[in-house]
Amino acid sequence: MTEMSRQLGVSPSYISLLESGDRIPSRQIVKNLAETLLGSEDTLGMDEVLILAGFSPEFSSPACFTLSYPRLLERALASKSDHFIAFSSLIKYYLEQELLDLAQHRILEGLQRFSVPWQLQVLLAFRELQKSDFTSAELAQNLAIEYFQMRKNAEEETLGYLYLYLAYFQFNAIKFHILENKMDLGTVLGLQTEMYANYQKSLAYSQMNIFILNEYARTRYEYALLLAQSQGIEKWEPVIQLYHQVISSPQTKQLNPDLLAEACLNMAIAAQNAEKFELSELVLGLGRISLPNASELLIAFVRNYVIQAEKLDNPEILEKSLLYIKQFIQEVQTPSLLERRLKQEPCFHYLIRNKYEILKEMGLKI
């Protein structure tokens, strides 16, 4: 086990957690394992291992495989009936394809077949979420947490993820009922309180895991967007604070460039809505360092100066927005996205009113 842990770049105790089902392996761990077992030259074999672990192939097109994804999983189960990762991956496939009856059948079978009810309860919770049955999803996830806590040496970081899922289900319930106007304010506030508490538990158990912190910040951002004008600009302050924690965390280097750029973009938009324009400019610059070709960051720069110009009633500030529009056209070379955003988003109306002729000279169809 010591040699295997050295090759995988993890501790022996981590491997014990994987074997006991108390830790779900990451994509990188699965990839390292496949490379250790098969060698780096067998890219097709490595992709099959990734698929069996529930991840998309990395080196080959899915068309390269002689068997379909579910058939690969069924083959793994036929050769090893207690292959829980293949079994759970098959359920995840059914959920992704919205084959909810097949997913439920497999989950019920799994509860009789395997001794990991907490993982199956998580899958059941996601099935209920797809049916928009938020009460059942929350119940299934609470059972998953209860079953997991019964285990010996239950790893706290995994428990953190279980509370993250619970908070995620509660947010989806809030979002659905706000958009459908089917929930009274008292119920929304009650769910909101529970959701925030579960996010805090998730962060506490995971010791401020950067991915969980980023998910919490994203949820607060999306929730602030949902609330529209109902709570004024103060609703953006928690979003800014959370994303500041994400961006300044020592763990930030674990985020891939796309996630870091998204965090910078969301924080910048929150800062714009809170009328903190210099902060927005600073964070967007950081996002550009992380992902130089992100068109959304350029649009956010334009938005920052337009909102600032309108707020101060100073059209001269719009000159900065025009510079970023020129940069967008040069870098992206497909202005249709920018044209659509300029026409659809009310915040850009001030720009169009004041710089219509210049925008037309740039070749924009507005």
pLDDT in tens, 183-232: 677 888 888 999 999 999 999 998 888 999 999 999 999 999 988 666 67
Angle between helices 27-38 and 43-52 (to 10 degrees): 140
Q: Is the dihedral of CA 227, 228, 234, 236 positive or negative?
A: positive
pLDDT at 169: 92
Q: Which residues of the chain have pLDDT under 70?
A: 1-24, 36-39, 42, 52-54, 56, 59-69, 152-154, 183, 228-231
Rg of the chain over all Cα atoms, to the nearest angstrom = 24
Q: Would you state the structure tokens that stand for residue 247, as one six-digit string?
A: 């961006």
- Cα atoms found within 13 Å of the Cα of residue 45, Cβ hemisphere only: 11
Integer Cα distance of 116 and 246 in angstroms? 33
Give the residue extent of every domain in the chain: 1-53
Distance between CA atoms of 68 and 195, rounded to whole angstroms? 39
Query: Which residue reads 């004041």 in tokens?
Result: 354
158 touches 148 (CB < 8 A): yes
The pLDDT value given to residue 80: 74
pTM, entire model: 0.76
Residue 9: per-residue pLDDT? 63
Instruction: Give the DSSP letter string of 192-222.
Output: HHHHHHHHHHHHHHTTS-HHHHHHHHHHHHH
The DSSP result for 12-65, as a single string, is HHHHHHHHHTSSPPPHHHHHHHHHHHH-TT-HHHHHHHHHHTT---SSS-GGG-
Please count the other Cβ atoms lying within 10 Å of the Cβ belonging to residue 349: 13
Each residue's pLDDT tens digit, 263-303: 999 999 999 999 999 999 999 999 999 888 789 999 999 99
Distance, in Å, from the CA atom of 197 to the CA atom of 191, rounded to the nearest integer, reads: 10
223-238 pLDDT, tens digit each: 999 886 666 788 999 9
Asked whether the beta carbons of 255 and 263 are under 8 A apart, the reply is yes
Q: How far is 196 from 215, CA to CA, in rounded Å?
A: 12
- The total number of residues shown for the chain amounts to 366
The type of residue at 51 is: I
Contact 99, 131 (CB under 8 A): no
Cβ neighbour number for residue 97 with a 10 Å cutoff: 12
Query: Which pLDDT value is given to residue 178?
Result: 84
Q: Tell me which H or E stretch contains 271.
A: helix 257-273
